[in-house]
Amino acid sequence: MTNKDLSYSAVMSRKNEIMKKAIGIDYSAFESGGIAFDYEKMMKEAGYSLEEIQKIQESVSVGNTPLIELKNITALLRKLAPEGKGARIFIKDEACNPSGSFKARRAATAVYHAKKLGYKGVVTATSGNYGAAVASQAAMQGLKCIVVQECYDSSMTGQPEILEKQRACEAYGAEVVQLTVGPELFYTFLCLLEDTGYFNASLYTPFGIAGVETLGYELAMQCKSKLGKFPEAVLITHAGGGNLTGTARGLLKAGAESTKVVGASVDLSGLHMASDKAFNRKSFTTGHTGFGIPFATWPDRADVPRNAARPLRYMDRYVLVTQGEVFYMTEALAVLEGLERGPAGNTSLTAAFSIAQEMDKDQIIVVQETEYTGAGKHPLPQLNFAKANGIELKFGNPNTEVPGTNIILPEHPSMIKAKDFDLMKAKVSYVKNCIANNSVSCVSKQDLEFIALETKLDVETVTNILNELHIAIK
């Protein structure tokens, strides 16, 4: 390292070389030379069948988490629903995993693979539960672990939730490198990979996404066993897309092809996630639109050359909920069901509470994950932090909430209403990004078919979008 140029531009120019050494995947093997790449071939690069991943996870006490019916919350929503409506809500309690979230599934596969390949340690860049999951799995496998965490604004003020996750990472023995918000995160991450020679335990490798497939498979089979059928809908908190992608692929492998995959994010419209000013004006560090929309419309903004998380391939519906609504449902889960769980999974629970009122009583919704809670992840420190940062807190209609200005807790549970995000708008944005990021004026038939798969649209619809963009098909 001493002889290498460590300037920002030099390190960035070496990113593909660094990534190849740190993951052991040659991503160029999947490229076509155009927009298209062989996604399924890349996923097979994980090298493990579903059954093998189940065994890997079982060996470290990951997975086989309970499916719990939320009888009291279902009873409440049925009081608000039209006659004959009000689906039963079940929750997959992923907080039962060793590190307290579903991300233990991703980490178990990635860290196992790192050890198998002979790496001495792993590095991950995350401010969330994944850092704790990687640290936990590294401890089990006897590997070193470094977590790069973006957690402060320029005044060195950190969010309670992020600082709680720092505590968790360090409790499992990881070294935590803390940064202020900005472009230095990816630069620091690359420098550490190059300097240590450790494995890149990215959220977005085929290993990580394949690890989540067991979650979709499990919940489908548990539903089939307990209830005699697959769920009509699965609600998934959507941020970077790996949770949704892996779960949806697992559902398909279980045969639950008719189950609707619904993504849910906290609406943080108007707050720029890389803005120093906006960083501490939000009360959710994941599962929000600042990640959910950009990663849906262009997945390859990730820390790997090609992201294995491709949410638009699998998402049937995308809904948004407010910060106040999620805080309300977090407390409702605790006081009505005796389950004190963290905010990320409660995002999809909030959406499920609303969507269940549209569905028939004999139908099933599964909220696909919970996460642990503690210290800064509780609603009270988050709300106190918001108040200290000038955010107005009040009860009222959450529909009038303005992210970064106020948090409005619903005066009545009937006010909780998930709002649909226009998925076609996201798909058109994805097509535009394909054109812009590949600098093309025409696309091949192979590219056309790839975009259709990526957006879950038929070829004719994609052709019409390209025509409107004045892009020729050769």
Question: Could you tell me if 309 and 203 are in contact, meaning their C-beta atoms sit under 8 angstroms apart?
Answer: yes
Output the pLDDT for position 170.
94
For residue 2, the model assigns a pLDDT of 55
Residue 2 φ/ψ region, left for φ over 0, alpha for ψ in the -120 to 50 degree band, beta for the rest = alpha
Query: What domains sit in the chain, N to C, each tagged with a CATH number?
Result: 8-52+101-204 (3.40.50.1100), 57-99+207-420 (3.40.50.1100), 424-473 (no CATH)
SS3 content of the chain, % helix, strand, coil (to 5): 50, 15, 35
Q: Would you state the pLDDT for residue 297?
A: 97
Task: Please give the pLDDT value at position 454.
Answer: 98
What is the model's pTM?
A: 0.95
Q: What is d(CA 344, CA 449) in angstroms, rounded to the nearest whole number?
A: 34
Residues whose CB is less than 8 angstroms from the CB of residue 342 and which lie 6 or more positions away in sequence, other chains included: 95, 100, 101, 330, 370, 371, 372, 373, 374, 377
pLDDT values of the chain reduced to their tens digit, one per residue, 474 residues: 457 889 988 988 898 889 889 998 889 999 998 999 999 999 998 789 999 999 999 999 999 999 999 999 999 999 999 999 999 999 999 999 999 999 999 999 999 999 999 999 999 988 778 999 999 999 999 999 999 988 888 888 888 888 888 899 999 999 999 988 877 888 999 999 999 999 999 989 999 999 999 999 999 999 999 999 999 999 999 999 999 999 999 999 999 999 999 999 999 998 877 778 888 888 888 899 999 999 999 999 988 889 999 999 999 999 999 999 999 999 999 999 999 999 889 999 999 999 999 999 999 999 999 999 988 888 999 999 999 999 999 999 999 999 999 999 999 999 999 999 999 999 999 999 999 999 998 999 999 999 999 999 999 999 999 999 999 998
- Residue 324 and residue 133: Cα distance in Å, rounded? 28
Per-residue pLDDT, 1: 46
Sequence-distant (≥ 6) Cβ neighbours of residue 202 within 8 angstroms:
23, 110, 124, 125, 208, 302, 303, 304
Tell me whether strands 364-367 and 406-410 are parallel, antiparallel or unpaired.
unpaired
Distance set, CA 309 to CA 186, 315, 396 (Å) = 18, 12, 37
